[in-house]
Amino acid sequence: MTPKDISVIGVPLDYGADRRGVDMGPSAIRYAGLHEKLRQAGHRVNDLGNVTVPVPESRTPQDPRAKYIDEIVKVNRVLARTVEKVCHEGQFPVVLGGDHSIAMGTIAGLLRAKPKLGLLWFDAHGDFNTEETSPSGNVHGMPVAVAAGRSRSDLAVPFKGAFLDESKIVYVGVRTLDPAEAEALRNSAATVFSMHEVDRWGMREVMRRAIGVVTDGTDGVHLSFDIDALDPLYAPGSGTPYSGGLTEREAHLALELLAEGDILTSIEMVEVNPILDEHNRTGRLAANLIASALGHRII
């Protein structure tokens, strides 16, 4: 892999989920030795610190259809500007969450630098709800739909009218969807490799097909990785665990294949919850997965 100038951006946001704790995710991943692993892989690392996020105790959710929408939009606007600046300076953004609602800011910023962006979305969930279809009103279940231009709320403000091409969105590891969300995905141009496809074809074939989609006619590829893509047996520090997920080795293989192709232009790791973790086991796994995606090898 070509050595990269990596900028690490922490986003300790947990407004998008019901359970507290993911605001400590960036610290847990850093503490697990992320920077050293990336340097060992030959990269230069600059940590930009954390985007400022007000504590939830000082706020109240105003809209039950999209809880804490004002706070989430504000943070994502700052994140989008930060990511855009990093990209224009020739840096490689590594964004650490926080809950998955931060992906709206990350993707909005990336699109300003790479308008034909391809998206790889590793997740147990679809995150393809809108404020009109979400049964919970939790915004971390909406970022892909918003990034694709399907939301009519202020969540779309950071995108400034520039959205993802749905045909360049690829999911890996999905295994639970809300009914309306599943219907929307079936009618979308996105490609979904659920755990059924992973089991049936194997991770190598899934990634061959996924890479083919996200690199066809794109000018960059973003990896957004929710730690609950893995089975909770391997990643207990997740607020939305769902059994039947990826094994640790399947996840590493997928990211090693991405590193082999050297196709990624940005990475995001989210939903690590140290409160629910066991001795930072999930934080270490998250750090190791990022390192695998950026070329770290045993030998």
Positions annotated as catalytic residues are: 100, 123, 125, 127, 140, 226, 228, 271
**DSSP three-state, residue 165:** coil
Q: Are 64 and 137 in contact (CB under 8 A)?
A: yes
Measured in whole angstroms, the distance separating CA 45 from the mean position of its chain's CA atoms is 20
What is the gyration radius of the CA atoms in the chain, in angstroms?
Answer: 17
Q: Which tokens in the block code for residue 70?
A: 């004002």
CA distances, 84 to each of 7, 79, 93, 115 (Å): 12, 8, 9, 11
* Residue 121 neighbours by CB under 8 Å, 6+ apart: 127, 144, 169, 170, 171, 172, 224, 226
Furthest CA-CA distance within the chain: 52
Q: What is the C-alpha separation between 39 and 141, in angstroms, rounded?
A: 33
- Candidates 241, 235, 217, 239; CA nearest to 99 is 239
Q: Which of 241, 206, 186, 218 is nearest to 118 (CA)?
A: 218
Residue in this structure with the two tokens 């989609």, named with its chain if needed: 213
Query: What gap in Å lies between CA 5 and CA 7, rounded to an integer?
Result: 7
